[in-house]
């Protein structure tokens, strides 16, 4: 029996909400044997989990182990509850910290919150798993944190990138020497200017990607060429309209399946957008990579029942250097959505040819029929999508 079908079988028998979900989709565990089979099961959304947990607290019938067998329980904003099994490195962060060069016996300050939410404890378990000695820093008390980092000559940092920057400024203000060599950051975007500023202070910065429910879903290697997906983690990049897996390279929702026997995270849509890099990485690690964080599904707007996402639109418009500015405008007449792409062109561009090319590309890349309106100008900071529909 494969690891996947073993997990599915166990969850079906032990997590009542997972069994109901399978039954509703007309599936039995025998139908889900391979990764490709997973596409038969509709995506479970975070909002679905929140609703399930509201109806059936605390875990909405998704827990597949006795609650007394857990090590910790957490609650994240939503509210959404998360169980932590009593296993080594439950968030699977060790592999990411190793790739970031964290070493046994290294002291590392962990500046993720330890209060109620999982990040602090989860990263601490990862650090301990590879033999690092964590300082449970948490968030706040920056003066005390930098004093401690200085007196222990701490070389590792785990936390938000912006918080690291704040600590460095605090140390400078207090004239305290710090000894940081490497940082593992996640949970917010890392602007390249910030990475560079940290590098200039002698700190190597590695990014991770994950969620409160799923733990580690991707991490930098020294090549910094996309996030390696950890082993025992299935990530499908799926069409945000129908949940079906997309070809490698196309942008869609990150949908996660874990071989997790205590909590049913199967076809869980995390609401983030990314794409898969399938080419092997120069570092030699096997497997697929995620091509960074490309936005939230929530920013998408539905037009004619299909999602239009600013990122998709930006990807398409990147192919049109002759377009100076653009905005997609959604209107509604006679209960039908209309999509108009307003564009401002560079000087001397043939507007008929560009309009035709935009229409054709939109049909292929966005799967939308649209009208093109060539304008003389658009206001600065025009949002990429304007929804003018009213729903009286
Ligand atoms: Zn690599």
Residue ranges covered by each domain of the chain: 1-70+232-297, 87-220, 301-387
Per-residue confidence (pLDDT) for residue 174, from 0 to 100: 97
Task: Return mean pLDDT, the chain.
Answer: 93
Q: Are 161 and 188 in contact (CB under 8 A)?
A: yes
Rounded distance between C-alpha atoms, residue 344 and residue 274, angstroms: 29
- Any idea what DSSP says for residue 348? T
Interval between CA 99 and ligand 1 midpoint (Å)? 9
Do the domains at 1-70+232-297 and 87-220 have one common CATH topology?
yes
pLDDT, tens digit, for every residue of 138-159?
A: 999 999 999 999 999 999 999 9
Interval between CA 156 and ligand 1 midpoint (Å)? 21
Query: DSSP readout, 53-76?
Result: HHHSTTTTT-B-S-GGGEEEEEEE
Per-residue confidence (pLDDT) for residue 309, from 0 to 100: 80
pTM, entire model: 0.81
Per-residue confidence (pLDDT) for residue 182, from 0 to 100: 98
Average pLDDT over residues 48-75: 96
Interval between CA 284 and ligand 1 midpoint (Å)? 6
Per-residue confidence (pLDDT) for residue 354, from 0 to 100: 96
Interval between CA 231 and ligand 1 midpoint (Å)? 14
Q: Are 76 and 118 in contact (CB under 8 A)?
A: yes
| Sequence-distant (≥ 6) Cβ neighbours of residue 326 within 8 angstroms | 313, 317, 341, 342, 343, 344, 378, 384
pLDDT at 111 over 80: yes
What burial class does residue 37 get, using C-beta atoms within 10 Å of its C-beta: 0-12 exposed, 13-18 middle, 19+ buried? middle
CATH superfamily of the domain spanning 87-220: ANL, N-terminal domain (3.40.50.12780)
pLDDT at 392 over 70: no
pLDDT, tens digit, for every residue of 261-314?
A: 999 999 999 989 999 999 999 999 999 999 998 877 876 777 877 778 887 788
Extract the tokens encoding 232.
Answer: 């025992």
Q: Which fold has domain 301-387?
A: GMP Synthetase; Chain A, domain 3 (3.30.300)
Per-residue confidence (pLDDT) for residue 382, from 0 to 100: 85
Percent of the chain with pLDDT over 70: 99
Per-residue exposure over 286-311, b if at least 16 CB sit within 10 Å of its own CB, e if not: eebbbbbbbbebeebbebeebbbbbb
Per-residue confidence (pLDDT) for residue 336, from 0 to 100: 80
Interval between CA 232 and ligand 1 midpoint (Å)? 17
pLDDT, tens digit, for every residue of 331-387?
A: 988 778 899 999 999 999 999 999 999 999 998 888 788 999 999 999 888 889 998
Percent of the chain with pLDDT over 90: 80
- Any idea what DSSP says for residue 296? B
Interval between CA 223 and ligand 1 midpoint (Å)? 5
Per-residue confidence (pLDDT) for residue 220, from 0 to 100: 98
Interval between CA 347 and ligand 1 midpoint (Å)? 43
Per-residue confidence (pLDDT) for residue 1, from 0 to 100: 66
The CATH number of the domain covering residues in 1-70+232-297: 3.40.50.12780
Extract the tokens encoding 337.
Answer: 């959505």
């Amino acid at each position: 029996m494969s690891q996947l079908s073993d997990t599915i079988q166990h969850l079906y028998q032990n997590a009542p909400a997972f069994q109901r979900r399978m039954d509703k989709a007309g599936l039995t565990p025998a139908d889900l044997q391979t990764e490709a089979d997973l596409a038969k099961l509709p995506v479970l959304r975070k909002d679905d989990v929140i609703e399930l947990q509201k109806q059936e607290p605390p875990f909405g019938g998704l827990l597949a182990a006795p609650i007394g067998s857990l090590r910790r329980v957490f609650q994240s904003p939503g509210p959404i509850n998360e169980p932590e099994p009593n296993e080594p490195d439950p968030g699977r962060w060790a592999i990411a910290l190793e790739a970031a060069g964290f070493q046994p016996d290294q002291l590392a300050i962990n500046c993720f919150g330890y209060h109620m939410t999982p990040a602090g404890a989860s990263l601490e378990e990862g650090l301990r798993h590879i033999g690092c000695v964590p300082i449970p820093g948490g968030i706040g008390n920056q003066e005390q944190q930098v004093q401690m980092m200085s007196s222990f000559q701490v070389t590792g940092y785990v936390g938000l990138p912006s918080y690291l920057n704040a600590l460095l400024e605090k140390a400078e203000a207090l004239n305290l020497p710090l000894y940081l060599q490497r940082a593992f950051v996640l949970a917010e975007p890392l602007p390249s200017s910030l990475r560079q500023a940290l590098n200039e202070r002698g700190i190597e910065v590695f990014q991770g990607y994950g969620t409160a429910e799923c733990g580690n879903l991707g991490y930098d290697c020294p090549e910094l060429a996309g996030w390696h997906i950890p082993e025992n983690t299935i990530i499908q990049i799926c069409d945000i309209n129908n949940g079906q897996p997309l070809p490698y390279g196309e942008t869609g929702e990150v949908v996660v399946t874990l071989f997790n026997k205590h909590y049913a995270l199967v076809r869980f849509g995390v609401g983030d957008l990314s794409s898969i890099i399938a080419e092997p990485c120069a570092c030699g690690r096997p497997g697929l990579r995620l091509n960074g964080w490309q936005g939230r599904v929530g920013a998408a707007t539905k037009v004619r029942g299909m999602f239009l996402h600013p990122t998709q639109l930006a990807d398409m418009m990147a192919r049109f250097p002759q377009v100076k500015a653009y905005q997609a405008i959604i209107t509604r007449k006679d209960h039908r959505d209309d999509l108009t792409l307003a564009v401002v062109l560079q000087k001397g561009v043939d507007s008929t040819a560009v309009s035709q090319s935009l229409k054709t590309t939109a049909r292929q890349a966005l799967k939308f029929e649209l009208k093109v309106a060539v304008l003389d100008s658009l206001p600065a900071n025009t949002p990429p999508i304007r929804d003018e529909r009213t729903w009286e």
